[in-house]
A and B are shown apart, each in its own frame.
Chain A
Amino acid sequence: MAAPQSFLWTRRIVLTLLAGFVLLPVYVMVSSSLKPLQDVSGKFQWIPSTVTVQPYFDIWKTVPLAKYFVNSLIVAVSATVLSVTIAVFAAYAVSRYAFRGKRVFTVTVLSTQMFPGILFLLPLFLIFVNIGSSTGVALYGSRGGLILTYLTFSLPFSIWMLIGYFDSIPRDLDEAAKVDGCGPVGALFRVVVPAAVPGIVAVSVYSFMTAWGEVLFASVMTNDATRTLSVGLQGYATQNDVYWNQVMAASLVVSVPIVVGFLLLQRYLVAGLTAGAVK
């Protein structure tokens, strides 16, 4: 069916404007990262008058960016693996069994998802500090402590999404597996998990990206040794000057792997959302 001109023009105009809006900061990030410091400190230039790749070398020296990178990676990967693994078991139980307390559990999970991070930040901070002062276990400032706090948002989201996804997988599949000699856990790993790969990928992508971009917990719960990228990038601002070209170069360096990974996996995300959240 041929769409009318009015529709085609609306489509062209709206989509062009949206693309411009979306890409504007990306252009600024890329172009400013290639300018010398005096150019980014002066009037903005659409076209850089001098192009240099020096900022890409300087970023590693101005702040310990590589260390922050590793910290972010460890924290985000651990939080993702931990929350998704635990959520798979929990979601399977909720999706496939009737048991006492099921409603309490799902309502708790659903409601904790909506609570603001600031609500947990204060008590967790105090718990960590008090555990440290009474037992000597240094949770406050450690990567392990930060990983735990990241579960506050990734675990409920993962459980909630996976329940929806597992519900969309026909029960006959795992019943058949049980007939063929699988136990319930065998059925989970041989049948349900493989069938739920898009949902599991979607949940993992979400958990990883939220952990990678998290600022609130990271700014309170880390120290010099465990600082993640989200806080470490502030190091390019000194008392007198902000090294904007280096800020932009560093932002680009930490973004590229995430954006590429996300764009490769985004099909799964749509598929995961379709079954998990949008029913």
Chain B
Amino acid sequence: MTATATSPEAGTPATGGTSRGTGGARRRLPRIPDRIRRGGLPYLLLLPAVLLELLIHIVPMVIGIVMSFRQLTQFFINNWGAAPWTGLDNYRIAVDFDAPIGEALLHSFLVTCVFTFFSVGFAWLLGTAAAILLQESFRGRGILRAVFLVPYALPVYAAVITWAFMFQRDNGLINHVLHDQLGITDEPSFWLIGDNSIYTLIIVSVWKGWPFAFLMLMAGLQNIPRELYEAASIDGAGIWQQIRRITLPSLRPVNQVLVLVLFLWTFNDFNTPYVLFGKSAPESADLISIHIYQSSFVTWNFGTGSAMSVLLLLFLLLVTAVYLFLTSRGRKGSDV
């Protein structure tokens, strides 16, 4: 029974794929092997991905959530299952905004929001400007395009470490220009500690992040049909009007993806603050990812660190859900 069912299938693989409409397959074969064959293949193709997703995402996430309910300190690292169960205590500590830990978390969250807003805003602005201005071909366009992608191509730590050097108080370029050459500041400022750190962080983040926006928008511009511009030009629209009426609206679908991606990357960015400031960031630039890292790996309090991670995750899910809801509702009218 099974032999007769599988042999024609195995012997002529071509008919299995093409006989969708013909009755040939149905006449000779019971339906089950065909369904298994068709149904099994995608699962087989997915198997490695599913196994890895389980191993690197699902299991760690479950463990992370379990960890957040335990009092997990350095004494239990080798055997985390033995850490005492504390229920919601870690969460209570994390969101008790009157106590030092909660207050610091709230502060760090607000700093991250401000940082993300300006960082994404400027990155988007620069990316849009560059993409639009490079849309028409002119001499030097190819070189500029390559130059603009350099921050994206440079390894993060190499680029950020250079910025850290430029922002050094005594031997950096920034103070040399601001203080020695232009005389804007009375004395050399600190850029990597104290209140100025947030500006430093935003500048470096924009420098590193805007080429991605440029790249995405450049790709998006290639999908706008030339005829639209030609038609507008015949109707007498100038180049500024064409940008406002054709280019910017056409980029909307790209922007919807781009802004979400930039938001998530910037909000979660660890590399930039870590290379700029080290294991513990100055208060004015204490981003949430560094903050959680510090609570977990510097003060060795994995339980609270996990609770903070879970809260961060819930926040990101909420923002993404609201954003997707809003953008998809706005799109309902069009045919996309």
Q: A and B: partners?
A: yes
B144 at the interface (CB under 8 A from A): yes
Contacts of B45 in A (CB 8 A): 89-90, 92-93
**Cβ of B147 and Cβ of A28 under 8 Å apart?**
no
Q: Nearest Cβ distance between residue B115 and chain A, in whole angstroms?
A: 14
Inter-chain CA distance A85–B264, complex, in Å, is 26
B64-A122 in contact (CB<8A): yes
Judged by a CB distance under 8 angstroms, whether A47 is at the interface is no
Residues of A within 8 A of B59 (CB): 123, 127
Is B199's beta carbon under 8 Å from chain A? no
Q: Which of A114-170 contact B (CB under 8 A)?
A: 114-124, 126-127, 129-130, 133, 148-149, 151-152, 155-156, 159
**Which of A108, A133, A259 has the most C-beta atoms of chain B within 10 angstroms of its own C-beta?**
A259
Residues of A within 8 A of B292 (CB): 118
Give complex CA distance A277, B253 in Å.
10
Bound together, the chains give a CA A90 to CA B107 distance in angstroms of 41
Which A75-113 residues sit within 8 Å CB-CB of chain B? Answer: 86-87, 89-90, 92-94, 96-97, 99-100, 102, 105, 108-109, 111-112
Q: How large is the interface on A (under 10, 10 to 19, 20 to 34, 35 or more residues)?
A: 35 or more
On chain A, the residues within 8 Å of B134 by CB distance are 15
A194 at the interface (CB under 8 A from B): no
Is the beta-carbon distance between A233 and B50 smaller than 8 angstroms?
Answer: no
Query: Known contacts A1-B233, A129-B78: does B64 contact A19 (CB below 8 Å)?
Result: no
User: Whose C-beta in chain B lies nearest to the C-beta of A92?
Assistant: B45
Collect the chain B residues with CB atoms within 8 Å of residue A26's CB: 150
When A10-B133, A181-B14 are in contact, do A216 and B293 touch as well, CB less than 8 Å?
yes
Which listed residue (B61, B144, B150, B219) contacts A119, Cβ 8 A? B61
Residues in B whose Cβ lies below 8 Å from that of A93:
41-43, 45-46
A-B contact count (CB 8 A): 294
- How far, in Å, is A234 (CB) from chain B's closest CB? 8
B165 touches A247 (CB 8 A): yes
Is B102 at the interface (CB under 8 A from chain A)?
Answer: no
Complex formed: what's the CA distance from A84 to B269 in Å? 24
Residues of A within 8 A of B180 (CB): 43
Contact of B219 among A115, A214, A263, A273 (CB under 8 A): A273
CB distance from A98 to the nearest CB of B (A): 8
Least CB separation from A13: chain B residue: B133
**Roughly how many angstroms separate A10 CA and B216 CA in the complex, as a whole number?**
22
Residues of A within 8 A of B158 (CB): 29, 233, 251-252, 254-255
A204 near B: Cβ within 8 Å? no
Docked Cα-Cα span, A99 to B44, in Å, equals 12
In the complex, the answer to whether A178 meets B126 with C-beta atoms within 8 Å is: no
**Given A14-B130, A102-B42, A122-B306, 4 further pairs, Cβ under 8 A:** A116-B316, A122-B309, A214-B156, A233-B161
- 25 A-B pairs within 8 Å (CB atoms) are namely A14-B129, A14-B133, A24-B173, A25-B163, A25-B166, A42-B171, A44-B175, A89-B46, A97-B42, A112-B53, A118-B293, A124-B56, A126-B77, A155-B56, A175-B18, A181-B13, A212-B155, A216-B274, A247-B165, A263-B146, A263-B149, A274-B223, A278-B219, A278-B220, A278-B257
